[in-house]
Amino acid sequence: MYSVAIMPILVGSLIAFSETKQFNTIIFLIFLGAAILILAWENLSNDVFDSETGIDKNKTHSVVNLTGNKSLVFWLSNLCLGSGILGILAITGWQQDPTVLELILLCCLLGYTYQGPPFRLGYQGLGEIICFFAFGPLAIAAAYYSQTQSFSITSLAASIIIGITTSIILFCSHFHQAEDDLAAGKRSPIVRLGTAKGSLVLTWSTYSVFLFTVLFVILKIYPVATR
């Protein structure tokens, strides 16, 4: 479940190493831990916000449903967020550069707007767009910058691939929740499109990952092969 937090940090950091031949293990590990904690906040707070709309009443693995204590889950989520941001602050202080912090705070803001009131953009079918930017271009740019204090066209290209694949994961989660989403007034992509059209979108979204990969090789952003 937390691979979507790990992959952007791993990919961004390894591209930085590939291009600069330098790798700060301490910064990488701090960033990795912070990313996992921030995603834990996102997941836990989403359970809290979803419990308020009733959309999760049939979701047996909702932490709020499992514990029966919404307040506890809410404060635990905030603890995860605070701990994750402390890790990012440590990197910022180490580098004397606020760029990584700014990028991650923007990711957090996007994450909150996904389910948090008064926005609840996920209920308007905008979750995949939010997911693309938060886990793709922003997160990978932050990871790359944490190692190099610069930006890279290669990491941007990679972030498009990671952003799409992460959004696909979220998109797939809507198929089995379509009835609950519709009942709660959540206009998820599957509610809007239906399962048949949604399956077609999923197919072409998956194809796009390979098409972008080929395009980036043609543009010589990606190598044809590595060794």
* Percent of the chain predicted with pLDDT > 70: 96
Confidence at residue 208, expressed as pLDDT on a 0 to 100 scale? 98
Among all chains, which residue has been given the structure tokens 């308007």?
124
For every residue of 54-110, DSSP letters joined together read TTTTT-TT-HHHHHS-HHHHHHHHHHHHHHHHHHHHHHHHHHT--HHHHHHHHHHHH
* Percent of the chain predicted with pLDDT > 90: 74
- What is the overall mean pLDDT for the chain? 92
Domains observed in the chain: 3-218 (1.10.600)
Confidence at residue 44, expressed as pLDDT on a 0 to 100 scale? 94
Q: Which two tokens stand for residue 177?
A: 């929740």
Name the more confident of 224 and 82.
82
**Burial class of residue 40, CB neighbours in 10 A (0-12, 13-18, 19+):** buried
Confidence at residue 53, expressed as pLDDT on a 0 to 100 scale? 78
Confidence at residue 58, expressed as pLDDT on a 0 to 100 scale? 65
Q: How far is CA 82 from each of CA 26, 89, 200, rounded to the nearest angstrom?
A: 20, 10, 40
Give the residue from 181, 55, 49 showing the smallest Cα distance to 116. 49
Lowest mean pLDDT among 29-33, 96-100, 172-176: 172-176
The mean pLDDT of 141-155, rounded to a whole number, is: 97
Confidence at residue 130, expressed as pLDDT on a 0 to 100 scale? 97
Confidence at residue 2, expressed as pLDDT on a 0 to 100 scale? 81
Confidence at residue 216, expressed as pLDDT on a 0 to 100 scale? 97
pLDDT tens across 155-210, in order?
999 999 999 999 999 999 888 888 878 877 788 899 999 999 999 999 999 999 99
Confidence at residue 12, expressed as pLDDT on a 0 to 100 scale? 98
The mean pLDDT of 131-142, rounded to a whole number, is: 97
pLDDT tens across 37-93, in order?
999 999 999 889 888 877 767 676 778 777 878 899 999 999 999 999 999 999 999
